[in-house]
Amino acid sequence: MENKKIVGLCGSLRKGSYNAMLLKLAGTLLPQDVDFEIISFDDIPVYNADIDIPEVAERPESVVRFRYELAKASAFIIVSPEYNYSIPGGLKNAIDWASRGKDSPLMHKPVAVMGATQGMWGTVRMQAAFLPVFTFLNMNPVLQPEVLVAQAQNKFDEKGNLTDEAAVGIIKKKLENLLSACKV
């Protein structure tokens, strides 16, 4: 039997991103027999239905690659800041490209969202903003436990390690629940 594969998406492109640190940490907490890969999407253009025509191979190469990589996933981890109380535009744009068609690589798959912020609310509004998106896409969001790393600047050390042991325990539990929700 093939290993489960978890694909990670990070909503922040910033060097030194706390969310990127959190996503990397999540990858290290997965069992050895689970494959993990972080997929970038910073080369994807703004969605335009005129160039989303797979029948005539007009999808941009970056989108084709992105969808191909997502298709290999048994489940997803999305780790993101919130921008203006919601999902960062670049991440939402990538999800929009991946969402189209009967062959959408997102459909029916489990997804766990986590977030880190320098503020007090730990991305709670970004996570809430994803719920209707997952519902519309027939995805399977793994909601418990919630992973909200508030005041991240005080919780990651200079090497990018999360020093909050309680938070690490909650992340492990979330990953266990995500793996349990995987069909393949």
Ligand X SMILES: Cc1cc2nc3c(=O)[nH]c(=O)nc-3n(C[C@H](O)[C@H](O)[C@H](O)COP(=O)(O)O)c2cc1C
Residue 137 or 162 with smaller CB distance to ligand X: 162
Residue 14 or 173 with smaller CB distance to ligand X: 14
SS3 category, 116: strand
| Least distance from ligand X to the Cβ atom of residue 119, Å | 3
DSSP string computed for 41-52: -TTPPPP-GGG-
Residue 47 or 83 with smaller CB distance to ligand X: 83
| Least distance from ligand X to the Cβ atom of residue 117, Å | 4
| Least distance from ligand X to the Cβ atom of residue 19, Å | 3
Question: Residue type for 4, please?
Answer: K
| Least distance from ligand X to the Cβ atom of residue 159, Å | 16
Helical ranges in 50-123 per DSSP H? 61-71, 89-99
Residue 82 or 98 with smaller CB distance to ligand X: 82
- Side-chain-side CA neighbours of residue 94 (13 Å): 24
Spell out where the chain has E strands. 4-10, 34-38, 75-79, 110-116, 140-141, 147-149
Q: Which residues contact 9 (CB under 8 A, 6 or more apart)?
A: 23, 38, 39, 41, 76, 77, 78, 79, 80, 91, 94
Residue 63 or 148 with smaller CB distance to ligand X: 148
Would you tell me which residues interact with ligand X (CB under 6 A)?
Answer: 12, 14, 17-19, 81-85, 116-119, 121
| Least distance from ligand X to the Cβ atom of residue 145, Å | 20
Strand partners, 116: 149
